[in-house]
Amino acid sequence: MRSPSPALDPALDAAILLRRIGFATLLVAVPVAALVARRAAVVLVPIGIVLMVLAALMDGANGGFNRSLRRTFLSPAGLAALVLLGWATLSIAWAPQADTAFEKLFNALGAAAMAFAGIAALPERMRASNLYLTGIGAAAAAIFALLVALGFLGRDAVDLASLERGLITLSVLVWPAIGWLVSRGHGLVALALAAAAALAVIAGGSLVPLLALAIGAAMFALTSWRPLVGRDVLRAAVTAVILAAPVLPFLLRPLAKALAGTSSPAVQSIRTWAEIVRNDPLRLITGHGLDAGLRGRLVGVVPREAPLSLPFEIWYDLGIVGATTLTVLLYFAIRAAGGMTASLVPAAIATFAVAFVVAVSGVATSQAWWLTLLGIAVIAFLAIERGQFRTTRPKVRLFGRLGAS
C-alpha cells in the first residue's frame, strides 16, 4: 500500500520560489545587466533583497529573521561597520557641504541595510539548485561581455563606462561562482569559467578590471597552495596600504619620478597628496568631513591631481579614526573569510583582493553601485557557506538486484 503523500504547503512552496527568484536577481540579472545599464545594481538589488526577506518571513528557514539580523549586527565585522558609519555621520558636523555629505551617507546606509537584510534572510541551509545560479550568472555575464567587446552586439552602442563597470562586477562575482564549483568537485568547470571571465576582461580593454582579476587569480593560487599565507599576505597588504597612506607619497615619489618622470600624472597625484599632508597634518586626526574630498575637487578646494582612491578618501574625509576603523572592519572580514569551509577560502580571499584593488584604483570607492556589489558578494559567500552540507543517498545496485531476482 502506498504511503500517503505529505500535505502541500502553499506558503512553503511560495517561499522557495521567491528565494530562488531573489537569488537569481542578485547573481544572474545584476552581472548581465551591469554591462549595459549604469544603475542596474542599484535598481535590481533592492528587488532581489525584498524577495529573499519575504521568503524568510514566510518559511522561517533562516532560524528567525530578528535573531539572524541581531547575530549579523553583533559580529565583529558588523560592529566595526556600525562604528564606521557612526563616525561618518558625526563628521558631517564639520563637512564643508552637509547636503551632499548626507546624500553620500544615505547611499552608504542604504547599501549596508540591504546587505544586512540579505544576510539575515539567508536560510540555515541553502539549496544547491539556488547556488548553481552563481555560476550561471557569471558565465552569462562573461559570454555577453565577450560578445560586446568583440563587436558582435554593437559595442559602439554600449557606454564604455557601463562596460567597465560590468567587467568590474564580473571580476568580483566570478569568484563566489568558482568557490561553489570547486566545493562541489567541479574543478574543470570552474577553470573554464575563470578562463571565460579572463577572456572577457582582456577583450574589454579596461586596465582596472584586468589588473584586479589578475591579482585575484594570484591570490587564489597562493591561498590554494598555502591558505594561511594567502590570508596573512592580504591582511598585511590591506593594513599597510590604508594605515600608511599619509606616509606613502613621501616614500613613493622619488621612485615614481625615476620610473615615470616628473610630468607623469601618477607623479603629480603623489606630489599633490604629499602637499596636502604637509600643509595640514592636524587634519589627519579628524579628517575634513564626509564627502569633503570629492566635493572639494569639484569646487577647486582640493587639486584635481589629488588621488581618486580609497586610502586617500578615507584619510582626507574621516582621518585616523575612519582609517583605523576601516582597517579593523577589513581585518575581521578577512579573518572570517579565512575561517570558512576550506574549499571556499581561496575564492573568498581572491574576492577581497579584487575588491581592494578596485577601491585603491579609485574607480568606485564609495559609489552606491560599488557598495551594493560588495553586499552581493558577501551574501553570495555566506549562502555558499550554508550550502556546504551533504546528504548520504543509497546507491542503486542495478546488477546486484538483477542477479538476486
CA–CA separation, 138 vs 116, rounded Å?
23
* Residue 403, pLDDT above cutoff 70: no
CA–CA separation, 145 vs 191, rounded Å?
18
CA–CA separation, 251 vs 369, rounded Å?
33
The rounded mean pLDDT for the chain is: 86
Q: Return the HEC string of 335-399.
A: HHHHCCCHHHHHHHHHHHHHHHHHHHHCCCCCCHHHHHHHHHHHHHHHHHHCCCCCCCCCCCCHH
Q: Which comes out higher in pLDDT, residue 137 or 398?
A: 137
3-state SS assignment for residue 255: helix
pLDDT class of 61 with cuts at 50, 70, 90: confident
* pLDDT value of residue 294: 83
Maximum Cα–Cα distance across the chain: 91
* Residue 400, pLDDT above cutoff 50: no
Mean per-residue pLDDT, 347-355: 96
* pLDDT value of residue 96: 86
Cα–Cα separations (whole angstroms), residue 261 to 254, 258, 266, 270: 10, 6, 9, 12
CA–CA separation, 261 vs 328, rounded Å?
36
Lowest mean pLDDT segment, chosen from 154-158, 285-289, 326-330: 154-158
Half-sphere exposure of 195 (CA within 13 A, CB side): 6
Mean per-residue pLDDT, 224-233: 94
CA–CA separation, 211 vs 207, rounded Å?
6
pLDDT digits 0-9 by tens, 101-155: 888 888 888 888 898 889 889 988 899 999 999 999 999 999 999 988 887 765 5
Residue 170: partners with Cβ closer than 8 Å, 6 or more residues away: 31, 35, 138, 141, 142, 145, 197, 200, 201, 209
Are residues 331 and 192 in contact, defined by beta-carbon separation less than 8 angstroms? Answer: no
* Residue 8, pLDDT above cutoff 50: yes
% of the chain surpassing 70 pLDDT: 88
Q: Which comes out higher in pLDDT, residue 265 or 171?
A: 171
Q: Which comes out higher in pLDDT, residue 308 or 46?
A: 46
CA angle 233, 237, 241 (to 5 degrees): 175
Q: How far is CA 39 from the centre of its chain?
A: 16
* pLDDT value of residue 148: 86
* Residue 343, pLDDT above cutoff 70: yes
pLDDT digits 0-9 by tens, 99-115: 888 888 888 888 888 98
* Residue 6, pLDDT above cutoff 90: no
Domain ranges of the chain: 13-245+309-385
* Residue 392, pLDDT above cutoff 50: no
% of the chain surpassing 90 pLDDT: 49
Mean per-residue pLDDT, 272-299: 87
